Structure 1
Amino acid sequence: MMTTTPLAAKTPEGLEILFPAGPDLFWGAVCFVILFGVLWKLVLPKAQKALADRTDAIEGGIERAEAAQAEAESVLEQYKAQLAEARHEAARLRQEAQEQGAALIAEMRAEGQRQREEIIAAGHAQVEIDRKQAARLLRQDVGKLATDLASKVVGESLEDQARQSRVIDRFLDQLDNEDDGATKAEASR
């Protein structure tokens, strides 16, 4: 005769492991409910909080990234505006420098021209002074030679200063007149 065994008797051999006995099933269900309750009360809120924190961090990160990107675009626009202003200022300064350089060059040229004219005028004045001094010295030397020669020709001394001066002046005036006549004749040619 056969005795009835719980569920295990009706299952083929080797499958008892898959179908537990009634008390095992009961205590397994009780443990599952307790474990589920503990997980539900303790672990699940912490996991949901961590998940919410992570979601907030991601969303906040996205918002911060968008804000940073907007700020970066604003800074970029400011930078571009400052760069354009700096370029404009540099162009203006370059133009001013060119104008100042041109004015300085013109001023230096004018100053150089003025100095050149002063040097030339001073040179002409010095040449005129030297010419007059040479003419005076030449007049004296020629007068002295003429007086000596005239004294030898005439046979009397022309040591009298007033007479000597008149003779010299007459002689030199004749030379000047002859020289002026020769210059005028050359100029008419």
Structure 2
Amino acid sequence: MPITVLAEGEAPEGIGIFLPAIYDIVWSLVPFLLIVGFFVFYAVPRFTKILDQRRNVIEGGIERAENAQAEAQKQLDEYNRLLAEARQEAAGIREQARQEGAKILAELKEQANAEAARITANAHAQIEAERQAALHSLRGEVGSLAIQLAGGVIGESLTDDRRSTALVDRFLADLEASEAASATGGSVAVQRGKAGI
């Protein structure tokens, strides 16, 4: 359908009612093109630049977070490795301490046994010395009693030291011989000792 140009004062008819006049289209098109040019050449590039910056910041933040997470995981793995090594070292130290403790205990037992053997030997030596002293003392007392008894039986005084000492020694020797003979079952030495007195 052709566009008809109306003269001044004529009213449009039909579809022309809806079509604006040419001058309105021209004057409306100029600001529209200015606005579109503003958006295309100024606003959209700025928005694109801002959005790119935000995207870069977000992507950089994500990358930094991933790097930090990887570093944290690496440090956690290192910590776990060091902890495992420390546990192994502690187990080794405990085992070494247990072995050293057992060694020290064995040495202390050995020292205690040696000390006990030394104390036992000293006790035996002291007992033997006391037995010898008691035997010597008993010989003197038995000798004086034997001399008194022998003097009473004979009816004479046996105060001569040489004779009395020889008599006591012979009596004690016979007494020891009789103990030895009774231990072996013989009584001949006892009878000889009685006959000699």
Query: TM-score scaled by structure 1?
Result: 0.71
Distance 1:152 1:88 in 2: 93
- The alignment yields a C-alpha RMSD, in angstroms, of 3.6
Match of 2:115 in 1: 115
Q: Distance in 2 between matches of 1:63 and 1:123?
A: 88
Look up the match of 2:157: 157
Residue 131 in structure 1 maps to residue 131 in structure 2: yes
Partner of residue 83, structure 1: 83
CA distance in 2, matches of 1:102, 1:128: 38
Q: 1:182: how far off?
A: 1.2
Tell me the distance in 1 between the aligned counterparts of 2:106 and 2:93. 20
What is the CA-CA distance between 1:3 and the residue it aligns to?
A: 7.7
Q: How many pairs were matched up?
A: 175
Find the aligned partners of 2:149 and 2:96 in 1 and give their Cα distance: 77
Q: Give the share of equivalent positions with the same residue, in percent.
A: 38
Structure 1 CA distance for aligned equivalents of residues 163 and 61 of structure 2? 124
Where structure 2 has 5 or more consecutive residues not aligned to the other structure, the ranges are 1-8, 187-197
Rounded to whole Å, the distance in 1 between the matches of 2:129 and 2:49 is 113
Give the match for residue 146 of structure 1: 146
State the match for 2:100 in structure 1: 100
1:166 aligns to 2:166 (yes or no): yes
- 1:181 aligned partner, one-letter code: A
**Distance (Å, rounded) in 2 between the aligned partners of 1:119 and 1:139:** 30
Partner residue in 2 for 1:15: none
The AA in structure 1 aligned to 2:78 is Q
Q: Quick one: distance in 2 between partners of 1:131 and 1:48?
A: 121
Structure 1 residues without counterparts, runs of 5 or longer: 12-18
Structure 1 residue 31: deviation in Å?
9.4
Cα offset for 1:143?
A: 0.9
SS at 1:157 equivalent: coil
Distance 1:113 1:141 in 2: 41
Q: 2:185 is paired with a residue of what secondary structure?
A: helix
Which has the higher relative contact order, 1 or 2, with Cα contacts under 8 A spaced 6 or more apart? 1
* Map of 1:14 onto structure 2: none
User: What's the CA shift string for 1:93-143, capped at 9, x where partnerless?
Assistant: 222122212212221221121112112111211111111111111111111
- The one-letter amino acid of 1:71's match is E
| Partner Cα distance (2:132, 2:54) in 1 | 111
Instruction: Give 1:54 deviation, angstroms.
Output: 2.6
Q: Report the Cα offset of residue 151 of structure 1.
A: 2.1
Q: Residue by residue, what CA displacement relative to the aligned partner does 1:37-71 show, whole Å, maximum 9, x if unpaired?
A: 49x757973x5554334322221121112211221
Give the drift of 1:32.
9.8
SS in 2 for 1:111: helix
Q: Secondary structure at the match of 1:67?
A: helix
- AA aligned to 1:55 is R
The more displaced of 156-165 and 47-56 is 47-56
Amino acid across the alignment from 1:184: T
* Alpha-carbon distance between aligned partners in 1 of 2:105 and 2:139, rounded to the nearest angstrom: 49
Q: Which residue of 1 aligns with 2:58?
A: 58
TM-score computed with the length of structure 2 as normaliser: 0.69
